[in-house]
Amino acid sequence: MKESRILLGVCGGIAAYKAAALTSTLVQRGAVVEVVMTDDAQRFVGPLTFAALTQRPVYTSLWEAQEKIPHIALVRSADAFAIVPATANVIAKLAHGIADDLLTNAALAATIPLVVAPAMNAAMYEHPATVENLRLLRERGVTLVEPESGFLAERERGIGRLADEGKILAVLETVLARTRELEGERIVITAGPTREPIDPVRFVSNGSTGTTGIEIAREALARGAEVDLVLGPTSAEAPGKIRTHRVTTAQEMYDATLPLAQRASIVVAAAAVSDWRPSRAHAQKVKKTGAELNVEMVRNPDILAALGEHKNGAYLVGFAAETEEHEANGREKLRRKHLDAIAVNDVAEGRGFGGGENELVILHGEDGRIALGRGPKRELAARFWDAIAALRAKT
């Protein structure tokens, strides 16, 4: 934790005084702590307390240090953003993208890991609205430090008490470790479908949106990597700090990926590349004549096989979207294409394509298997890098 830069958001609740104790511990462990307080937080603890503990200014308004645009500057200079305690009100704002003060503006602008430690009355914590808001935050990759059961400010007992400081510190240490896990790595990731034109308005493709690959790229960036994303045609957007190379056809993806891979330490081929393309693309729209249209198909270049033949020391991870005998087919692909690991998912009946959830299994070596389970794609991306980082460390 030494020399880590932590942005600490403090919300208005009785547990705000515990944020002061947390700040003291973080400073003693060598962290640089910047504090943002909501108006309500200042009713419980004064900014002077945090200023004395951090020996740094405390930020309370969007309109101070305007020349620095504080909500942007603060998150750009931090390694992680922790909101402790987080009230039901602020959690609702985070879930729905409401930015009406410095803390929520900073959270909306943050591309760094976000840790949220809720604290509130049990009735508020268990209310369906709060439960749903917390679910949305988990899906977006926010790390939640669950509250504890115990004596509450209202002289009641129940869940909603701010998590123990030791638990919050442990979560922060884990998150901060992840932010450095891929430092120095240059990673190339392919994602999305390819489109192979029949004529100017028709093409051969598949249902991939590139979401899994984009989330894998986002997580690699959060862990300190330098990332190149070769992205097929999709409306999904990649984070701005990622170098994104937009392509359409398999040939274009091949031409973009191979040179980038030669300078990479890790390559993740998550794209759903069309194996075939029409042998010729008509220059004008093909008109209906009542006759059948026969389209001759030819093989596209095999990007993954080419990467396997020219690895140049890179750790190569492929993807296998299968509809039957998933792991058997995936393991055969692992061997045949000289991969270091392969992530297998079931795409029967449209599963796995589009937003929402996915389920992955990573196969490696002769019989190695790591089940990542099912979950939101952003959460799976974190599990993916946990597994790949551990496997690569053994090579």
Domain ranges (residues) in the chain: 5-181, 186-393
How confident is the model at residue 349, as a pLDDT? 61
pLDDT digits (tens, 9 = 90+) for 261-272: 999 999 999 999
Mean pLDDT in residue range 183-208: 92
Predicted confidence at residue 350, as pLDDT, reads 56
pLDDT greater at residue 222 or residue 276: 276
At residue 289, the pLDDT reads 77
Contact 45, 19 (CB under 8 A): yes
pLDDT of residue 62: 87
% of the chain with per-residue pLDDT over 90: 64
Pairing of strands 157-161, 148-151: antiparallel
Res. 49: pLDDT tops 90: yes
Tokens encoding 7: 């942005």
Superfamily in which the 186-393 domain is placed by CATH: CoaB-like (3.40.50.10300)
pLDDT of 355 reads 59
**Residue 298 phi, psi dihedral angles, 5° rounding:** -125, 160
- Please say if the pLDDT value at position 153 is more than 90: no
Q: Which long-range contacts (CB under 8 A, 24 or more apart) does 27-32 make?
A: 27/53, 27/54, 29/1, 29/2, 29/169, 30/1, 30/2, 30/3, 30/4, 31/1, 31/2, 31/3, 31/4, 31/5, 31/6, 32/3, 32/4, 32/5, 32/6, 32/56
Lowest mean pLDDT among 37-41, 234-238, 359-363: 234-238
Window from 32-41, 172-181, 352-361 with minimum mean pLDDT: 352-361
Query: Which of these is catalytic: 121, 133, 206, 300?
Result: 206
Q: pLDDT grade, residue 191 (50/70/90)?
A: very high
**What pLDDT was estimated at residue 56?**
95
pLDDT value of position 29 = 94
pTM of the model: 0.73
Q: Residue 391 pLDDT > 90, yes or no?
A: yes
206 is catalytic: yes
Q: Does the pLDDT at position 154 exceed 80? A: no
Predicted confidence at residue 299, as pLDDT, reads 93
Please give the CATH superfamily to which domain 5-181 belongs.
Flavin prenyltransferase-like (3.40.50.1950)
Give the pairing type, strands 357-364 and 368-376.
antiparallel
Radius of gyration, CA atoms only, the chain: 24
- Say whether pLDDT at 175 is over 80: yes
User: Would you state the pLDDT for residue 66?
Assistant: 67
Q: What is the 3-state secondary structure (H, E, C) of the chain?
A: CCCCEEEEEECCCCCHHHHHHHHHHHHHCCCEEEEEECCCHHHCCCHHHHHHHHCCCEECCCCCCHHHCHHHHHHHCCCEEEEEEECHHHHHHHHHCCCCCHHHHHHHHCCCCEEEEECCCHHHHCCHHHHHHHHHHHHCCCEECCCEEEECCCCCEEEEECCCHHHHHHHHHHHHHHHHHCCCCEEEEEECECCEEEECCEEECCCCCCHHHHHHHHHHHHCCCEEEEEECCCCCCCCCCCEEEECCCHHHHHHHHHHHHCCCCEEEECCECCCEEECCCCCCCCCCCCCCCCCCEEECCCHHHHHHHCCCCCEEEEEEEECCCHHHHHHHHHHHCCCCEEEEEECHHHCCCCCCEEEEEEEECCCEEEEEEEEEHHHHHHHHHHHHHHHHHCC
Please report the sign of the dihedral spanned by the C-alpha atoms of residue 341, residue 343, residue 344, residue 350. negative
How many residues are present in the chain? 395
